[in-house]
Amino acid sequence: MSLPTTASQTIGPFFAILLPLGSNELAPPGTPRAIRVEGCVFDGAGTPVPDALIELWQASESGQHALTHDETFRGFGRCMTDPDGRYSFVTVKPGRVPGWDERVQAPHLSLGIFARGVLKRLSTRLYFPDEAAANASDPVLSGINEANVRRTLIASAVGPRRYTFDIHLQGDSETAFFAI
């Protein structure tokens, strides 16, 4: 008996063929509080990954599901890395949202990563460095005991309304990924 090949058993990436790219601009042009989030995806040897796909999901500025209250804001975007492994998104900083246990979470972006050699999507979060009090009480972030692991989830501010967040797929600087 032979079963059909599933997505996690194929080679790739075939994103351009099978997965619509979407947009890396979640906030409409001219949004006054728009931010830029950018970074690079690295493999275990520290080499940039030129063919990864990053997905971003987030709440609106008011902490609501993006389409619930603000039809001008999309809470989902996709971005392919460029030949140097770089990606970027233009969005807004999300508001705080309740978690599964009703505790309020810090503003964060949920990221999914698809890349060569990665058979199932990797999931992580990006927290903002200028939200120290909210980060300290976030149920997910504060639940990570190792400071060096927790640190891999916090972006760096590199300018006004501009953040950088590098993603390391493996190695000593590996980004914390969640099993969901």
Quick: pLDDT tens for 60-76.
888 876 555 556 667 88
Rounded CA gap, 28 and 149, in Å? 34
139 has a pLDDT exceeding 70? yes
122 has a pLDDT exceeding 70? yes
Q: What is the pLDDT of residues 143-179, one digit of tens each?
A: 999 999 999 999 999 999 999 999 999 999 999 999 9
Looking at residue 63, its pLDDT comes to 81
Rounded CA gap, 172 and 152, in Å? 11
Helices (H), 110-175: 132-137, 147-151
Q: What is the pLDDT of residues 27-52, one digit of tens each?
A: 888 888 999 999 999 999 999 999 99
State the pLDDT confidence band at 19, using cuts at 50, 70 and 90.
low
State the pLDDT confidence band at 114, using cuts at 50, 70 and 90.
very high
In a 10 Å sphere around its CB, with 0-12 CB exposed, 13-18 middle and 19+ buried, how is residue 136 labelled?
exposed
Structure tokens at 11: 């080679």
11 has a pLDDT exceeding 90? no
Q: Is the peptide bond before 13 cis (omega within 30 degrees of 0)?
A: yes
Helix, strand counts (H, E) of the chain: 4, 9
| Residue pair 42/169 in contact by the 8 Å Cβ criterion | yes
| Residue pair 52/41 in contact by the 8 Å Cβ criterion | yes
